[in-house]
Each structure stands twice: as C-alpha cells, then as structure tokens.
Structure 1
Amino acid sequence: MLSESTVIKMDQRLLLRVIIAEDDIRKLTLNKRPQSIEEFKVQLVDKLSLQYDFKLQYEDQDFNNALCNLTEITDLPERATVKIIPLVSLHLTALSSPTTTSDTECSTADTEILSTVGASPSLRQQWPDFFDIPNFSVDVEYRLRQADLAFMKDETRMTLPRDMKHDILEKLAETMYRFKAYPEDDDFSSVAKALISKYPCLTEPGPHGWYGWKNSLKFKMANYRTKLRKAGCEDVAINGGKRSKGNPEGESSSKNHKWPKRGEANYLPNLPEGHDETSLENARMVLVEEMKKKQPNGTLISQMMDQSFPLRRQEIVKKEPAVQTMVERWPALFKERQVFAEFNRIASKNLEGDFFEALDQYVPRFIELFKTKKGTVGQKLRELMQHMSWMTPYVTVLRSVVLKGIPILLGDDSSEFYKTCSDTVRDEALECITVGVLTVVSEDSPHEGQSSVDLQPISTAIILEGGIVMDHIKNLPQAVCLLFGLTYALHLDYPKCMANTLNFIQTVMLGLGKKKLPPKLLTLKNSLLG
C-alpha cells in the first residue's frame, strides 16, 4: 500500500519548467500529479504537441539542481524543472522539394535523414604524449619475450628475422595511422624509443639504440600510405596524383600538399560506412531546411552535423569554396555551439574550455610583461592597460587586454583585425576589414579605437572575407575564440597581419601542431614560463 505521504504527494498540482531545446523553454501546470512516468510522458506529449519518443531528466535538489534521469514520479517536487531528451531514430531518405507549408514545418523529430547506427564517422584522437606499443601476434610476442630474457641475462641483442621485422613494422604503421596519416619526425622518434623501451632486445648498436628503427618506420609508413591510397582512403588518396616515378606527368610533389599542418587529427575522413555523397547531400539539404525554422531542434542538428562531417571536410579541403558559399550551404556551422563542435571533430580538442583555461593561466604573467616593456611597444601596451585602471579588474577586461596585447609583443599589425566603430559608421568600417573582429559601440562611447576595451558594445561580430558571418557575440575574447575555431572549420589560412598571434594561440595555448616553435613564439613562451 502507498504511504500517506505518497498519497498526499499524488494529489499535488505540478508547476513545471519544461526544457524542450536550448531556445524553447515552456511553463506548464498539471492540476494533478501523474501516477507514473508513462502517464507523465503522455500528458507532456498531449500538452506540448511532442511527436517523438523521449526520456526525462529533472533538476535534483539533493545534488544542487544537477540533472538526473527521472525514474520515479514521486521524485518530482511540486515546482520542478524537467528536461526532454529526444530519442531520435533517423533513416536515410531522398529529400523531396517541399510543396506545402505543413511539409516544411513538420516536427523536426519526424525528419528522416541518417541511421544513427554505424553511420557516425570514426574519428582520430591527438597523438598521445606517450606512444603505447601495441601487442603483436602471439608468435612474435613469444619470441620477443624469450629474446628479452636473454638480453636481461647478458645483453645479447636479438637477430631479427626478416618476416618478424616486417610484422612489427606493419603493426606499428597501422597503429600510427590511427593517429596521423603523416607523422612528423618527432612522432617517429617517440615510437622508436617506445619500442626498445618495451622490448630491450630490439635495441640496436649505436649511441641511441633506436635510430635504425626510426628510419625503418619512415619507409614502412610511406609504403603503408601507398597501400591505403590504392584502397581509396581519402586523407592519403588526395595526394596520389603528385609527380613520381610511376606518375611523371603529375603535379610537383612539393606543390599544394593537402595534409594536416595545424594539428588537425581528422583532416579528411572517409564517408561513413553505407553512405555516399548523394545520401549525405540529401541530409545537408534537410539540415538547411531545419535551420530555417523558428525553433530548430538542437539535438537533431548536432547529430546531423556529426554525420555529415566527412562530406563537409571533403568539400572544404578539395574545393576550397568561398566563405559565403559555406554560409549558404552549411548555416548551422556558423552557430557558436557548432563552431566548437566542429573544432572538436577536426582537432579532437575542447576549444572553448582549453582556450580560456590557457588564457586565464597566462593573464597574470602577460600583465607583468606588458608593464616591463619600453619604447614604442611599451607605449602601446600602456595605452591598452589604461582600461584596467578605471575599470574593476573584470575577467573580460583582462582577457581582452591580453588578446589585444599579444600582437603588439609579437610584432603583428592588429589595426585591421581588431576594429571598433560607432553604430553610425558600421557600414564604412566593414569596408576596411577583411578578416577580424568588429566591435560596434554607441556614438557617445568615450572608448573607440584599436586599443579600446568596451564591456557593453552594441554588437561584436566576426568578419571573414569581408562579410559578417557571426554577430551579437557576447564579448571580444569569445569572438577571438570563435574566429580561431572558424579558421579550422573552414580550412582558412591565418591572416598575415595576425599570423604570429594565431600561431601562438595554436601552438602554445592549445598545444596543436609542430612542437618546434619559431624564435618569436619561443621567446614569448619562455618569458611566460620564466
């Protein structure tokens, strides 16, 4: 039997704050508490016109209002916040031209696009700090263990049979490819060192003991890429037409190589298994229609953007379309959430979290450096830091000052990248900026110019190829972070006027790309760590 308190609870009316999507939050009153979760879901479907299956989460007061799965109806307080989590099953269908308003405005969850089972592309992770040598075949592992015992006894090195060395190199190349199709010199060194560390019997004569393995790995990796190129793997096949002995009429091998240059873990992935360009293009067209809706389904858009990532990368890397073309074909890519998601797909990094964590870590040291600089550089930095004297040291101010000060330290010209103008001359300012961040302030604002740090702008916009691609960003640091993400998402070169600064963000703050830094960046990094 139900307890008296439970019966009383069942008679309560419920006042609910229902989160359907990020931008769709509704107030709902139920005059009587449902008897079960299923009854509750039926009432939600009826009152909110939901046309898809879902599960429920609620804010649990026992855990500081953190979201928890709703499994018992009695867990809901009288006033509760409930979040609807769509359970979407998607299937590939051809997109027909919309014929009526009702066709285009149907429920997002009814949209049939892609099967979520086995359709997501397999994405790489960043190269590990320590390369874990894989297990080889049973017979190879056995022979290596026996050889290690002999090496530990009297340091007798193993005389490696040709077939065994082939198997070892083949397995290592396969494992390396899971991280990079084109490993760098340091990567080969790390694998060779890890190999003789795990199997000392493979140590070679010489001061290092691994240098021969490093060279063998380079040759094996080149052969492995050739094999994958013939199999049609996109990230290596794209460079298959270069001039060589077998292709003397091809393009110069030193010209326009398409491979990761900025630490992109997933530079050019293959299309998902079971899908082709036509099927993914159909999905893209439905995605465009979804973005036209007043309240697009964020969960569905994220799933579709994940599924269509390989198609998008192939389009961007191979065709190098104009930015405006990408805005029209992939409008979801220019929303904050998807900029960060796309960066994670490409670089396997949390851009927003890592960017601001590194920036906040370096801010105190940067401010100290700014104060020590003399001459013209020191004068520019002092003008920039004036904003800290009349404002409370607010985190956004400190971040903005540092992001505007880094180009000064590195010798970049940020005058065409950071633009601040009044709302009355916005159009004229747009004509003077190709790539950068445009901050629009009110006409009577006392702070206008390159060194201004305005906390309450009318708008902050990102400009690419002379046009606004994102607007109404909350502040300048967020805009810089998003612009950096877009250079990866759209495969854009850094603007020359800010190349040092953006390279600093990439290599020092985010740890992406080559470990060997140019002198300017290395000097600044050492100053920050000193």
Structure 2
Amino acid sequence: MAGKKSVKLLVCLSQDDKRKLLLPNGIPKSVEELVDDVRRACGLRGNFRIQYQDKDFGDTFVNLTSTGDLEDLCTIKVIPLPDEDAAPAQTQTAVNVSLSSDEAFSISGETDDTLILSSSSSSSSRTEQWPKEFPIPSFSYDTEVQLERGNAAFKANGTRLTVNPRMKSDILEKVSDLIYKYKAYPKSYHFCEVSEALIKKHPCLAEPGSWNGCYGWTQRLKTRMGNLRTQLKGLGCPELAVNSLKTKATDDAHPAKNVKRPKRGEANHVPSYPAGETADNLEMERQVLLKEVKKRNNGRIIREKMAKTFALRRQEIVEKQPRVEELQERWPAIFQEEEINAEFLRITTVPLQPRFLAGLDKHSSQLLQVIRKKGGAVGEKIRSILKPLDQGVDLNIRRECLLKSLVIYLGEDVSHLIKEYLVVQKEEAKAELENAAMAIFVLRDDDALSPPMDIGLVVDGVEVLNDLSSIASSCAMLFGLTYALNLSYPVELKYTFETFQKIIMDIESRQMSRRIQNLSAKLHE
C-alpha cells in the first residue's frame, strides 16, 4: 500500500534532461491516480501506460498494475498509447520518471519532447532549427578520398591540401544545399560557423593568411548561397519569390523596403504548397475548415485541416498582412490555444508552451538572484512584486511574480504587458483594451491577490483569446501569436519579448542586444 509520507519524483524527460517533482501525499493508491498525477505534472496529453523497474527481473521494465509495487527510489516509465482524438502525426515520446525521497521540487511540468511537426504540412518544410554545431555532409567519393589523404598529411607535417576547381565546387554545392535545409537567408555568423566546422572536420582545407583559416570559405559560401537562391527564385520558391523585385514592383513604390525574410528564427517563414496541392484546392480545404470549427469535439479534423492549409495561410499572412478581424473571419481556428501551439511548431520547429514554461523554470532560481540585486526605486518595486514568494505560493503565482519583475528589471512598464482590472471595472477595461496593440488582460473578483476570474489576450484592440490558465501560459500564447500572425514585437516591450525569444525559448540566441546579453551573462555566472 502506498505510504502517506511525501515522495519526490525525478522526472527523466530524456537521457540528458532530468527534473524533479514532489508528491506531497505519497505514492497514490491506484494506478489511475498516478497516471493523473504524471499527466498533470508533466503536461502530457493523450493516453499512456506506466511501467516500473522490477528488481526480481534484473530491473526490467514491467507494466504497472498496482502502485503497491512501487517504493521510494524505484523508476517508472511512461509509454504513450494511440489516441483516437490525436492527429496521426503527433506522438509523445517515452518519459522516464524516478522516485526519490530526498530531492527537492523543481519542475516546470512541461517538455519539448511531446510534439513533432505534422507530416501533413509541405514536404519541403524544415523540421529543425539551426544546429548548435553545424554537421558537415559527406561529399562525392573522390572528394572524400582526397580529403582523407589531405587530413593525414596535414596531421603528419602540416601540409595543406591544394583544392582543384572540381573538388571546390563539390564541397560548396553539398554544404550550401545543407545550409538551405536550415535557412534560406543565413546571417554572416552562420556562414562563419559553417566554415569553421568545415575546417575543424577537414583541417587540410585551412587557408594560410586567414586569421581563422577559413575566411575564404566563408566568402565562397556566401556567393554560392546567393547563386542557389537565384536559381530557386526562378523556380518560383515562395520564400524567395516573395522578395524578388519582379514580384514586389507591382505592389511597392519602394521594393527594396519591407523585405519579407525570417527575422526571429522562423524555419518555415513562407512555405511551399504540399506536393500535388494548389491554391484553389487549399482554399476549398479552408472553406471546409470554417464549417468544422463550428462543430463540437472536432479537434482531430481541425488539426488535420490546419496542418494541410499551413502554406496557404502563411503566404496570405506574410504577403498580405491582413488585420486581426480579417484573420478571425478567415482562420478562426488559429486563435485557439492548441492551434497557436501547433502553428508555432510549424513555423519554428520548436514547441511553444512546454518549452516556454520549462525555460522559465530552468532560469528561475538564477534569475531571481539577479533580479533581487537590483537597487534603487526599481529594486524596491521588484521586491514588492516578489514578496508573495516568501509565503510559499503555488507554481503559477511564482511564475507570474517572476515575469512581472523581469519586465521591470529590463526597464519596461509591466502594465504595457499585463493589464489588471476588477470585475466591476469591466466596461472601463473594455474601452481601454480597444486601444491596446498587444496585451494580456486579467479580471479579478476582489483584489490583486484573489484568483483571476478571466485571463485573455488582446491584439490590435481585438480580444482574441480568453479563459487562459495562468499569466505564464498567457505570455507564451502572446509570444506565439507574434509568430503565427507575423507581428512585430511591441516597441515598449522589445526587451521583454527578446528575452522570451533568446533566453527563455533559446531561439536565434547567438545575437542579442547589449541589455539582453548582459542579462544572459549574469544568468550563466
């Protein structure tokens, strides 16, 4: 029988990602209760079963039929099962959970491992962000033979390889093709990373006279990528054709301005239509989607239709930049919490809400230390906001206090992000929110410490979402909408949103403004 002593779980989201969770009432009495606890704590969706390590069989994982088989310091594993209401392409990876009686609570409850890109989107869609270390591809057989000999000679006596035109062309072609699989418009530092990775793998290609041995390769790759874009633009590739002078000249008096390129790590900024699909076919799918949205318990079909029409929707949003009201009419499903998560995943290849909450919790301890050191009037204001943390508040309040103090620490006004009202001020709130470009609104029944009656989002004065669970989840949703609707970050909150992107979400984090770079450095001291 499960004991009543509190039990602390070490949740292994992957081999390299382990987090902790407290069960204050001990191990649940039934497997169903344990499943609910794991689902709630880890933010899992869909059906799964639990296995445990059976010591009688050499720690082999066996299906759990009774929680009486569990005790402290044993390990359980979550095994996903098919979910009839889940999109066919969406799966959940197995999650390991270790029970420990001595470890403290420190878990966000969310993981990026529970979502993957839908296969219903375009076959040409990118499925990964730019890698931390660029993987140099294999070249043709004769090039690989020459490189192998060249590397051996360089290791033996430092002799550099003389690269003939054919070999150089092979290297540049293969590498630039791989670059395009990650980005159509790489920045200078991306090219530097690639050329440095090339020299690291094949040191015989290092160039004399270059400060890092690869400056010439960097410049050649830039030229080659420019030529590749020109070729693909001629073939009508949407993400490149949208920026061609021929396309823009009919609409723009100044075609060099308003360039529609990914700026915040969008892997699929303007994707191509799925194979065999046309604009007319996808428009028919959109019309069907409008009818399906009005039906109840129709999540699976909506997800499938949204994934299939992603390219049509994305081209429309990026090229035409419609108003929010128009998008609500044409694409109402995009303003659902689940679809904002899915759309963000399609655009960036990165999960939204799980990663946002996990990233916030990951930095929470160090971030609190940094923020609490702030002095002056700003420091006093921050300490006032953080005061509830001394009373042992729940995780949502902790995250809310942390986010509010972060905005103030960055020198921005938290009221621009979070607008709080009492229920009796509802009409006043409605009038004020009509002038808000982008904000989270909170309605409370009594005072600032009472639980929210409603939490929602406003974009361009239009309420687009409500009944959200917490301030932290609302911040994630608002951040996701900037990508889904291709919106610029609010000027008065530019540092806050940059922190969301580059520190919490770790998207395109190699280049930061000086203020965010200083914060990042303090978090890693």
Report the Cα distance in structure 2 between the residues aligned to 1:176 and 1:251, rounded to whole angstroms. Answer: 33
Change (3 A) 1:292 1:233: same
Give the letter for the 1:261 counterpart. K
Give the drift of 1:326. 1.1
Q: How many residues align?
A: 427
Give the drift of 1:147. 2.8
Structure 1 partner of 2:128: 125
Deviations 1:375-434 (A, max 9, x none): 220222122123334x43211111001111111111112223211111222232132231
Match of 2:462 among 431, 450, 467: 467
Structure 2 partner of 1:312: 313
Contact 1:121–1:307 (CA<8 Å) still a contact in 2? no
Structure 2 partner of 1:335: 336
Give the drift of 1:208. 1.5
Give the letter for the 1:227 counterpart. Q
State whether structure 2 residue 503 is matched by structure 1 residue 508.
Answer: yes
Contact 1:431–1:466 (CA<8 Å) still a contact in 2? no
- TM value normalised by structure 2: 0.75
Give the letter for the 1:432 counterpart. E
Contact 1:430–1:466 (CA<8 Å) still a contact in 2? no
Structure 2 partner of 1:228: 232
Structure 1 partner of 2:188: 185
- TM value normalised by structure 1: 0.75
Give the letter for the 1:465 counterpart. D
Deviations 1:241-292 (A, max 9, x none): 1799xx9x98657521111110111111111110011101111111110010
State whether structure 2 residue 294 is matched by structure 1 residue 292.
Answer: yes
Structure 2 partner of 1:382: 383
1:86-235 residue pairs with structure 2 within 5 A?
122-206=125-209, 207-235=211-239
Contact 1:262–1:513 (CA<8 Å) still a contact in 2? yes
Contact 1:363–1:402 (CA<8 Å) still a contact in 2? yes
Contact 1:416–1:432 (CA<8 Å) still a contact in 2? no
Change (3 A) 1:273 1:253: same
Any idea what SS the aligned residue of 2:452 has? coil
Give the letter for the 1:376 counterpart. A
Structure 1 partner of 2:257: 255
Give the drift of 1:333. 1.1
1:2-81 residue pairs with structure 2 within 5 A?
62-63=63-64
Structure 2 partner of 1:239: 243
Any idea what SS the aligned residue of 2:319 has? helix
Structure 2 partner of 1:281: 283
Give the letter for the 2:458 counterpart. I
Report the Cα distance in structure 1 between the residues aligned to 2:452 and 2:47, rounded to whole angstroms. Answer: 37
Give the letter for the 1:208 counterpart. N
Deviations 1:98-141 (A, max 9, x none): xxxxxxxxxxxxxxxxxx88965533410111111111122222
Structure 2 partner of 1:404: 404
Structure 2 partner of 1:371: 372
Give the drift of 1:338. 1.1
Report the Cα distance in structure 1 between the residues aligned to 2:480 and 2:311, rounded to whole angstroms. Answer: 17
Unaligned runs of 5+ in 2: 1-31, 33-45, 52-62, 67-77, 90-118
Any idea what SS the aligned residue of 1:284 has? helix
Contact 2:120–2:307 (CA<8 Å) still a contact in 1? no
Match of 2:274 among 268, 272, 283: 272
Give the drift of 1:495. 1.1
Unaligned runs of 5+ in 1: 1-16, 18-55, 71-82, 90-115, 448-452
Change (3 A) 1:467 1:168: same
Contact 2:87–2:300 (CA<8 Å) still a contact in 1? no
Q: Which has the larger radius of gyration?
A: 1
Worse overlay, 181-190 or 358-367: 358-367
Report the Cα distance in structure 2 between the residues aligned to 1:288 and 1:489, rounded to whole angstroms. Answer: 18
Report the Cα distance in structure 2 between the residues aligned to 1:87 and 1:178, rounded to whole angstroms. Answer: 25
Identity %: 34
Structure 1 partner of 2:442: 439
Change (3 A) 1:493 1:86: closer
Give the drift of 1:340. 0.9
Structure 2 partner of 1:35: none
Change (3 A) 1:180 1:120: closer
State whether structure 2 residue 481 is matched by structure 1 residue 478.
Answer: no
Report the Cα distance in structure 2 between the residues aligned to 1:366 and 1:516, rounded to whole angstroms. Answer: 20
Any idea what SS the aligned residue of 1:163 has? helix
Contact 1:57–1:84 (CA<8 Å) still a contact in 2? no
Give the letter for the 1:410 counterpart. L
Structure 2 partner of 1:414: 414
Give the letter for the 2:491 counterpart. K
Structure 1 partner of 2:392: 392
Give the letter for the 1:311 counterpart. L
Any idea what SS the aligned residue of 2:159 has? coil
Structure 2 partner of 1:499: 494
Give the letter for the 2:403 counterpart. L
Report the Cα distance in structure 2 between the residues aligned to 1:324 and 1:220, rounded to whole angstroms. Answer: 42
